[in-house]
Amino acid sequence: MIRNSMKKVSLPFVFCLTATALFAARQPNLVIIMSDDMGFSDIGCYGGEIETPNLDKLAANGLRFTQFYNTSRCCPTRASLLSGMYQHQAGIGLMERDNKLPGYRGELGRDVVSIAEALGTGDYRRYMCGKWHVTKFVRPQGPKDNWPLQRGFEKFYGTITGAGSFYDPATLCRGNTFVTPVNDDKYQPKTYYYTDAISDNAVAFLREHAKESPDQPAFLYLAYTTAHWPLHALPRDIAKYKGKYDGGFDPVRAKRFKRLKEMGLIGEKVKLSHRPDDWERTPNKEWEIRNMEVYAAMVDNMDQGIGRVVAEFERQGTLDDTLIFFLQDNGGCAEGFGRYKSKRPYRADLKPLGTNDLQSRIWPPMQTRDGRPVRNGPDAMAGPADSFTGYARGWANVSNTPFREYKHFAHEGGISTPLVAHWPKGIDSSLNGKLNHQPGHVIDLMATCLEVADIPHPKKFGGKDIQPLEGVSLQPAFKGKKLKRKEALFFEHHLNCAVRDGQWKLVRYGETGREPKLRPWELFDMSKDRTETNDLSKKHPDKVKALNDKWEQWAARARVKPWPWKLD
């Protein structure tokens, strides 16, 4: 029947169909993998001692960017990644709460289109596993219009909120439905661990894709919560790092610094930034060592899962035409969550949660599913479900080697991320294992994906006018060419501000307490001083003024102002 009908079709129409099929075949699969609260030098291919053979292999057969940036915080970076816009333009300039100002609504705006929505205007199937964190509505009974399935994804497994137990995650969903590790009939592993669950469900989505729509390209957004607090890891993964961190902060940081230079990720003359904590004066050393062992185990487990995802593309024969990105949402986290023992005694009357009972909290006081209190502070060794801690400033400084500051700040330790790009058919093979030193930003990922998919960015979507993209495509770098960026890169979070314009970076601290303050600008020559150790603001006041003017113009245009802190 099909053959007979084809005989009657005109040759021009057959040619059109053939051309369309060939065009569709040239659209690569797209994968964006993002980790959570990790530092610049944690993974092996960026100088770290943590075992990440799968990411290292992607880097060896792909391209690494040495000066790539995020927004310094979880949900603003996700808003930028999903929209291709600065976070304030996307409506999440601060966190997921509504400050009643255009740039600070706590919701992914409807005058931006998500990357999934944009790819959906083409031929892409769209899947997400992991952390969403771009809406203030996180309860089962609340609105879901800004959840993944309502923002362009066809399948979703993950958490709506920003953090929680790795053994029993709060706001765990399949599609639009809240589930628990014990009532989800589609996924019942022997031991539930959220990082594994993200990886395993991603593989399941890809296998379903191969059966349901093998002729269509896939877009997979894989948003791990590794290595965000609480420090939870499986015993087999923790055991691999026993003894690795017994010497404290300095030996690990020194080895990373050396490897970073040997790899060419930083210049030979770059100085190591200031160390904030002295290991000899650090109390509870065994506990601190264990914290870093667990942190490393979390990263290791994530890499194992990434390996399973990559292996599935290999099994399907599509890896060569799959563009994979790996990056992080902010720098290492110096926050003190879970670091202090509770002032109240732990409850002894807790009951186990039922099969359908949801975790109601994402940090202590809380309980395990089998009814134990979750403990924090130095009396609870990190790793199991009844512990809750973060690794704090000393180890975060190691994670961010060689940079200053941490998550939340606009100095390099807050905004610098690895970016690994792997695409055998799209990245020139002569660049395999090489470094690209051009500055880039998370706003560039959407522009890149749309360009390689040959899908235009919509001017209208869902009856709304859509803001034009801010990012530029990274595709020229895949051929060893310069990016077509015309403007500087800009930053603001909690009044921590920066401008990156060529070799120059202007950066300052902000204070958002009862009396908000903006500290003076610092100026650094990033071609010589990537670790921001030599402030040139007094030597080059004209440059400070010129970059400040650019920042002010951007802040007015990009909805950074008016401030929620009433500074104007």
Residue type (1 letter), 120 = G
491 Cβ partners below 8 Å, 6+ apart? 69, 71, 72, 410, 415, 497, 498, 499, 500, 507
**Which residue among 45, 75, 133, 173 is the active-site one?**
133
3-state class percentages of the chain: helix first, strand second, coil last, to nearest 5: 30, 15, 50
**Catalytic residue from among 45, 74, 129, 449:** 74
| 484, two tokens | 């077509």
Among 274, 334, 245, 311, residue whose Cα is nearest residue 50: 245
3-state secondary structure of 225: coil
Which residues face 412 on adjacent strands? none
B/e letters for 312-337, b = 16+ CB within 10 Å, e = fewer, are: bbeebebbebbbbbbbbbbbbbbbeb
Residue type, 152: G
Q: How far apart are CA 558 and CA 235, in angstroms?
A: 46
Residue with tokens 């801010």: 470
Length of the chain: 568
Cβ contact 499:490 at 8 Å: yes
CB of 389 within 8 A of CB of 229? yes
Tokens of 164: 């929680």
Partners of 24 in beta bridges: none
Could you give the count of Cα atoms lying within 13 Å of 30 in the half-sphere of its Cβ? 27
Note if 133 is an active site residue. Answer: yes
**Enzyme catalytic residues:** 74, 133
